[in-house]
Amino acid sequence: MPDNRHSPEIDVSIILVNYNSGELLKNCIESLQSNLEIKSEIIVYDNASSDTSISILEGMLQEPAELKIIRGKENLGFAKANHAAVQYAKGKYYHFLNPDMLINRALNADYRAMIAHTAPEIWVTRLTDADGILQKNKHVIARLGNIIRFLLRSENVAYWNIGASIIIHRDAYQRMGGWPADYFMYAEDIDFFWTAYKHNIPVNYLSTSLIHIGKGITHKIWNDEQRATIIEKSFRTFYRKYHAGWEYLIIRPVQLGYMLFNEPSSFPLYAKVFFKNLFKI
C-alpha cells in the first residue's frame, strides 16, 4: 500500500483519472506544467487505457516528483480510480481534475489564497467551454427536503457541482470517506457533495475560470443512448443508497418535464431511457 502521508514539500496533489483520453490528457498536462507556480505534484491514474495517451505522457516526464503515472489493471470508473490515486498523494489539498480540462496561470493566486485558509473545506473552480462561455456548475441536490428548503429560500440548502475540477483539503476528504464507490460514472459528484453537506464541510467558489471541454472523452466510448442509460442508472443508485427510491419516482419525471421545455432536443432520448429501464436498473 502506498504511503500518502502529507509532505511539507507539496501543497496540492493534482489527480487525473485517464481512460483513452488521447490528446486531451496531453493538453491538460501541458497546461499544468506550463502554468503551475506552487508546490505541487501531478498524479495520473490510468484505467487500463487501450490508446496511446499514457505512452505520450511518458515522453513528458520532467522529474519523477512532478508527474506520477499509475497504471491500473482494470477500468475502475471515475470514483474508485480517484480514491485509488489518493493513496499516492502527498499534498495538503487534492485537486481532482478531468483530463478534458485546461488550466491557466490565474489559478495560482486562488491556490495561494486557498492554502493560506487552512480549514478543512472544499473549493470549486468555475468552468467555461472552449469559447469562454460560463457553464452552469452549481445545482440543487434533488432530494425532496432539500428542494423544499430551496423553495423556502433557506440558507441550509445542499448543492452539487460538476466533478471536473474539485479541490478538497485532505482532512475533509478523510472525514467524508473519499469518493463514493457506488457508481462507475455519473452521480458520484452528487453523492460527494451530499456527503460533504451531511458532514458540515463548507464549499467555497474560486474566482478562476478553467476551460472544460465537456463530454470530450465519453462520446468516444458510448453512443448517446448508452451514456443516457448509465446516467439514469447512477441517479437511481443515488436514491436507493439513501433509502429514497420513492423520491426518484417523483423527482425524475419532474426533471424530465423541465427538460421537455428547456432542452427539448434531449427530452425524447432521456424519456425513452427512463421508461425503458424503469424496472431494470
Count up the domains in the chain and report the number.
2
Given 221, 239, 255, the domain boundary residue is 221
**DSSP H or E stretch at residue 34:** helix 23-35
What is this structure's pTM? 0.91
The answer to the question of residue 4 being in a domain is no
pLDDT score of 61: 63
- Say yes or no to pLDDT of 64 above 70: no
Of 176, 203, 221, at which residue does a domain stop?
A: 221
Instruction: Examine the domain organization and report whether 83 and 152 are in the same domain.
Output: yes
User: Same structural domain for residues 163 and 135?
Assistant: yes
Let me know whether 127 and 230 are in one domain.
no
Q: How confident is the model at residue 211 (pLDDT cuts 50, 70, 90)?
A: very high
Buried b (16+ CB within 10 A) or exposed e, 183-204: bbbbbbbbbbbbbbbeeebebe
pLDDT for 221 beyond 70: no
| Grid cell at residue 6 | 502529507
Q: Partners of 96 in the beta sheet?
A: 15, 166
Give backbone dihedrals phi and psi of 271, rounded to 5 degrees, phi first.
Answer: -65, -40
- Whether residue 1 is predicted with pLDDT greater than 60 in this model: the reply is no
What average pLDDT does the segment 178-188 reach? 90
| Boundaries of domain holding 157 | 12-221
pLDDT, tens digit, for every residue of 110-138? 999 999 988 999 999 999 988 889 988 99
Q: Please indicate, yes or no, whether residues 110 and 201 belong to a single structural domain of this protein.
A: yes
pLDDT score recorded for residue 65: 45
* Angle (CA) 275 145 270, round 5°: 20
| Listed residues 221, 251, 266: the one ending a domain | 221
Q: What's the pLDDT at 56?
A: 83
Q: What pLDDT score was predicted for residue 22?
A: 86
Band (pLDDT 50/70/90 cuts) for residue 217 is low
Q: By the 8 A CB rule, do 6 and 87 touch?
A: no
Residue 56 C-beta-side C-alpha neighbours within 13 Å: 18
Integer Cα distance of 60 and 277 in angstroms: 44
For the chain, the average pLDDT equals: 89
| Residue 152 sits in the same domain as residue 239 | no
Please check whether residues 148 and 237 belong to one and the same domain. Answer: no
Is 29 found in the same domain as 118?
yes
pLDDT reading at 9 higher than 60:
yes
Model confidence band, residue 184 (pLDDT cutoffs 50, 70, 90): confident
Residues 241, 175, single domain; the answer is no
63 and 116 in a common domain: yes
